[in-house]
Amino acid sequence: MPLLWFILRRGFKYGTIAGFIYGLVHMSLGGYVMNLVQGLLDYPLAYAALGLTGLFKKHPLIGVSVGILGRFICSFLSGIIFFTGISLEGAIASALYNGTYLIFEFVISIIVIQLLIKRKIINIYM
């Protein structure tokens, strides 16, 4: 949530940079990395994809949806390329695994952002 809030406040450029850095920190604090490409897809690139949210500052709920979709795509690709194999079964397994935790992140993020906007706790239309 703090990352999405930052992205909505500061926009695509700074949000993408912050997401990339956050991904590096997350990876260095215990991420599972098999090789460089997998590590980049699962951590810095996946979190940098949340920066897409910043392209929709005037429509934050759409932005959050696009940002989390971008993160899903990075993790999904990593899953089918490095963990499950490039096959229909691998794609389904990767989608289920990554979708399971990202759907919860999506729902919680949408609810919290909507509440913050509704209560005028954050003003994202700057």
Each residue of 33-85: pLDDT tens digit? 999 999 999 999 999 999 999 999 889 999 999 999 999 999 999 999 999 98
In a domain, 83, yes or no: yes
What average pLDDT is seen over the chain? 92
In a domain, 125, yes or no: no
Query: How many structural domains compose the chain?
Result: 1
The residue range of the domain holding 40 is: 2-118
- On whether the CB atoms of residues 51 and 81 are closer than 8 A, the answer is no
Which whole number is the average pLDDT over 22-43? 93
Tokens 């993790």 belong to residue: 75
CATH code of the domain containing 35: 1.10.1760.20
Handedness of CA 89, 34, 73, 97 (dihedral sign): positive
* Burial label, 10 (beta-carbon count in 10 A; 0-12, 13-18, 19+): middle
Token code pair at residue 8? 């909505």
